[in-house]
Structure 1
Amino acid sequence: MKCQCGGEFEFALARNVQQLLFPKSSPSCHWCCFGVKNHMANGVGGDFFEFLTLPDGSQSVFLGDVTGHGLHASVVMSLLYGFIHRACLKSCVPLEAVLETNEFLQSFAERSQKYDHFFSSTLFFGSIHPETLEMHYINCGHLPPMVRRGDQLFTLNSTGPPIGFFDHPDIEMRSFRFEKDDRLLLYTDGISEAVNAEGVMFGLRRLSQLLMTSDLNYLEFLDEIFAELKRFGACNPPQDDCTAIVIDFHPFMAPMSKPENLPE
């Protein structure tokens, strides 16, 4: 019993430490609104996200999903989170930061063939220039973010493999120019691959339909995604970490939103 209590305490401590890493508020921008919602499957996990202002004034957003979930994923996630912060202090170019991060993960993977696959992650990394609304981005094996523009839907598809697998990965940087009233949705596979009791997957089609038909504001839309998962009958607690980020592009100053972690 003593050991169990000690284990529960250590687990709770790990969860609290991981929560300290996540941003406590979204960026305050006159040109867009940021919102994020996150629910870890086991209290701790491998989803990670951040909003950083780069040295050139661009606003970056990154979202990643470390291989696996639980305690081991949270350890790798913490390493990645800290290193990406460090890389962004030196470079405003997403490709340079991502390649440096890949090399960092590879240095750990080389230490053990038994655990090398754990030192890998999907990663979407975008840098948005506030004056032009042009985003330079890298998508390393992450599910494609979606952009709603009126009745049009754009997807930002993969530009390279997940980081950590290859010494010299073939990664391409692309660009996308946003317009006023666009909505950008980023998400992890804990949402799109959620399964109900009948074994049916929530899927990208349902998620894209939700994006295209919703007239809610960005924070209400985040709530609606998780409410729709519940109505769908997805497992609660979820089988995998779930994170969604919404960015609405507006010509006015938006109030800051506080990232929300759903209760256990």
Structure 2
Amino acid sequence: MESGTREPEGLHAAEMERYRERIDNLRECFRTSALINSTLELDEVLENIMTTSRSILKADACSLMLVDEATDELVFAVAQGPVAGKLKAGFRLRKGDGIAGHVFQTGKPLLIEDVYRDARFHQEFDRKTGYRTHSMLCVPLKIKDRVIGVSQVINRLDGTSFVAEDEETLGLLCDHAAIAIENARMHRDLLRKQQMESDLAFATSIQLSFLPQSIPEMPGYTFHAHYRPALAIGGDFYDFIPLGGDRLGILIGDVSGKGVASALCMAKLMSDFRLLAVREKEPAILMRQMNRLLFEQSRRGMFVTLLYMVLDSSDSRIDYVNAGHIPPVLWNEAGGEFVPVRGVGGPPLGILDDCAYVSRSLRLKRGDRLLLFTDGLVDAKSACGERFGWERVQAAVCPARGGIAEVHRRLMDALNEFVGQCPPADDTTMVLIGVGKP
């Protein structure tokens, strides 16, 4: 080869050195991917990402921002370098704002030799921290085509600018990092879900402990109860309260909303009601006391519909007061029909600070059946969104042949067939009272 075409030895050596450095960096990327994935704790994963990125790229500083999917903003997560401690935790960037925001918006990396010549760079960061940013490499973290974060490395330690090979190296690291972050998040979410399920199971067991553990026995009467929450914890409730002698208190109610808050309100209300019911014989006065108590103690916007009955078996008399609840229905053996027991005694509990309630009375006859229920029964919906409705309730239990257990079975068969596999949108609770038939 003639001397005019021979490559300069110094240039060849420099290229070989860059190739060797590139190969070493790639080896280091694959080696450190094990470090990045060595833990499922998100904070440790983020620190490992920064440590490896800074080390391989020989950068003076680095930072990582993650996408808040709720606001579609970048949120500062972790940083390393001389002024890392001065970075404000939780600092946010809108999409398109600054260099990192631009990378978030476009999903493409940026390699900038001199950030002060780039209008997207926020120079006030350097002014506030005393740091001097020269070159920057900014790369998106992606899962498929979805950007989940942005990684930045700043200022090479040797004073030179980052080059295209550095961009490729950081891109490879970010690919590993994105998977590690997603795995850590899935692990965190799984642990949270397991903890929540454990808490809900415990809360459910506490809630169920407030419901009657057995059905009362009273000569000449039979009772049946059904409770099915829409969620693990519901807001419906019922209770049987022995009042001494021939008297039995029966209540059914529905706390607004669902979940833990409703269940806690229900448990507190049932406890207070049992305590007051044995002291106050008049249902209307008792309801007024409960309303005042609930109004003072419950959070704003929470209320309770409640139906309370006092059955005196000595004369088959029921005194009842209805605080905004669905009226019960009475099957009259003689007339062969279901009749709603009308008469609202007052508004739901917890809406007004003080309210007078009105009680009413009825007498049961042999063969009568009384059905108390919550709106989850009539409002249950089929797959096409149709309501179960009162007409289907009536068709299922009329004629009311057999005892109340048979009435309950027919009603639940009809309800389950109607809703099919649709999960219940609301709690379903029923109490049935039969006179003279088992």
TM-score by length of 2: 0.54
Q: Deviations over 1:34-77 (max 9, x none)?
A: 00011000021111111111145311100000011122110111
Kindly indicate whether the alpha-carbon contact (under 8 Å) linking 1:64 and 1:188 is maintained by their aligned counterparts in 2. Answer: yes
Using the alignment, how far apart are the partners of 1:22 and 1:148 within structure 2? 26
- Alignment correspondent of 2:316: 133
Kindly indicate whether the alpha-carbon contact (under 8 Å) linking 1:40 and 1:241 is maintained by their aligned counterparts in 2. Answer: yes
Q: Measure how far apart 1:32 and its partner are.
A: 0.3
Indicate the SS of the match to 1:215.
coil
**Residue 175 of structure 1 pairs with residue 361 of structure 2:** yes
Structure (1 or 2) with the greater helix fraction: 2
Larger Rg, first or second structure (1 or 2): 2
- Alignment correspondent of 1:257: none
- Alignment correspondent of 1:99: 288
Q: Which runs of 5+ in 1 are unaligned?
A: 110-114, 255-264
State which of 143, 152, 160 in structure 1 corresponds to 2:337.
152
Q: Deviations over 1:107-128 (max 9, x none)?
A: 024xxxxx4111x100000001
Percent of pairs with identical residues: 26
Kindly indicate whether the alpha-carbon contact (under 8 Å) linking 2:331 and 2:338 is maintained by their aligned counterparts in 1. Answer: yes
Q: Measure how far apart 1:235 and its partner are.
A: 5.6
- Alignment correspondent of 1:227: 413
Indicate the SS of the match to 1:222.
helix
**Residue 82 of structure 1 pairs with residue 271 of structure 2:** yes
Q: Measure how far apart 1:170 and its partner are.
A: 4.0
Kindly indicate whether the alpha-carbon contact (under 8 Å) linking 1:194 and 1:234 is maintained by their aligned counterparts in 2. Answer: no
Aligned AA (2:281) = C
Kindly indicate whether the alpha-carbon contact (under 8 Å) linking 1:195 and 1:235 is maintained by their aligned counterparts in 2. Answer: no
Using the alignment, how far apart are the partners of 2:422 and 2:203 within structure 1? 21
Alignment of 1:1-264 (within 5 A): 1-55=190-244, 57-109=246-298, 115-118=299-302, 120-150=303-333, 151-157=336-342, 158-233=344-419, 236-250=422-436
Using the alignment, how far apart are the partners of 1:99 and 1:234 within structure 2? 41
Kindly indicate whether the alpha-carbon contact (under 8 Å) linking 1:145 and 1:187 is maintained by their aligned counterparts in 2. Answer: yes
TM-score by length of 1: 0.88
Using the alignment, how far apart are the partners of 1:55 and 1:93 within structure 2? 14
Q: Measure how far apart 1:211 and its partner are.
A: 2.7
Using the alignment, how far apart are the partners of 2:288 and 2:296 within structure 1? 13
Runs of 4+, deviation exceeding 6 Å: none
Using the alignment, how far apart are the partners of 2:374 and 2:207 within structure 1? 18
Q: Measure how far apart 1:227 and its partner are.
A: 1.5
Using the alignment, how far apart are the partners of 1:65 and 1:210 within structure 2? 23
Aligned AA (1:91) = E
Using the alignment, how far apart are the partners of 2:395 and 2:194 within structure 1? 45
Q: Which runs of 5+ in 2 are unaligned?
A: 1-189
- Alignment correspondent of 1:258: none
